[in-house]
Amino acid sequence: MNRYLYLLLLFVSIESIAQIGINTSDVMGVFHLDGKKDNTVGAITPAQESNDIFVDNEGNMGVGTLTPTARLHLKSDELYGAFKLSDGTQGLQRVLLGDADGNAYWGLIKGQGGSIVKMESKPINFRYNVTGVMPLNVTDNMIKIPNEGSFAFMLRWVPRLMKDGITSWDDPTMLYSRSVIIQYNLMLRRAGQLDTVLYSIESRPFMQILNYQSLFEIFVAQNLKKEDSIYLTVKLASTGDIDTNVFLYVNPNDVSSVESQMATESGALIFYKL
């Protein structure tokens, strides 16, 4: 009985207090928290105000300000100091969007600068007639779609045509140049469904063995949903002759030549919202 009476008296006592202050006796509103406990009686300086949390009698909350003008008013004199949302949708050049219920997230809008995904920093071979996944420096080589819509994906990569056993230009058994066939598939992964092909391209570049070559392709994906994921597969479908020991080689760590440095710096997939 005494315990319940104590709780009742505590509740009545709190209810009777018009203002609550934490770390300060000079309470300026309904609720006032002095984060660094550096406020002095009298005028509060901007530096002291910057670490305060405040609620006025209208129910507006200020963080870093004692004069909030909205339900939530964030103020900071430091770059990027007022607001940060890290929910997995953040990314370079993303903008803050909202759905019909007012939920906020980061996404892309039409006409905005493209979002860049670099190639993963490790060597990889694309063997003849074997489908491989383009190595992107994102989780599982997959790009998560930030918001609904249609997107264009532009790939620029610099592979090197190689042949087993050949390491120099003076090898008499090599065919120096050939027209190869490379098949690309832009793949969709959606929860509850099997992976499907969104867009296919068959490219026929003319390549030379031991040379790096810049290749550029564009893919379009329509009606994607937020949280869909896409990835890109690559297959060397023809070597230009009967050779089956020819392959495409990518090594971002190889800085032995100007061409390989270009491969390292430029290998990327850029996507835009249409």
Q: Name the more confident of 100 and 129.
A: 129
Distance CA(123)–CA(167), nearest Å, equals: 17
Distance CA(23)–CA(208), nearest Å, equals: 73
Greatest mean pLDDT among 66-70, 94-98, 162-166 lies in 66-70
Q: What is the pLDDT of residue 80?
A: 81
Q: Name the more confident of 99 and 257.
A: 99
CA dihedral 245, 251, 256, 261 (to 10 degrees): 130
pLDDT exceeds cutoff 50 at 7: no
Instruction: Tell me which of 34-38, 68-72, 221-225, 238-242 is least confident.
Output: 238-242
Helices (H), the chain: 2-16, 46-49, 258-266
pLDDT exceeds cutoff 80 at 93: no
Q: What is the pLDDT of residue 5?
A: 46
Residues in CB range of 258: below 8 A, 6 or more apart: none
Residue 30 DSSP label: S
Q: Name the more confident of 245 and 92.
A: 245
3-state SS class at 266 = helix
Q: What is the pLDDT of residue 261?
A: 57
Q: What is the pLDDT of residue 10?
A: 46
Grade residue 175 by pLDDT with cuts at 50, 70 and 90. low
pLDDT exceeds cutoff 80 at 41: no
Distance CA(169)–CA(176), nearest Å, equals: 8
Domains for the chain: give ranges and CATH numbers.
2-74 (no CATH), 115-273 (2.60.120.660)
Instruction: Tell me which of 3-7, 87-91, 109-113 is least confident.
Output: 3-7
Q: What is the pLDDT of residue 11?
A: 47
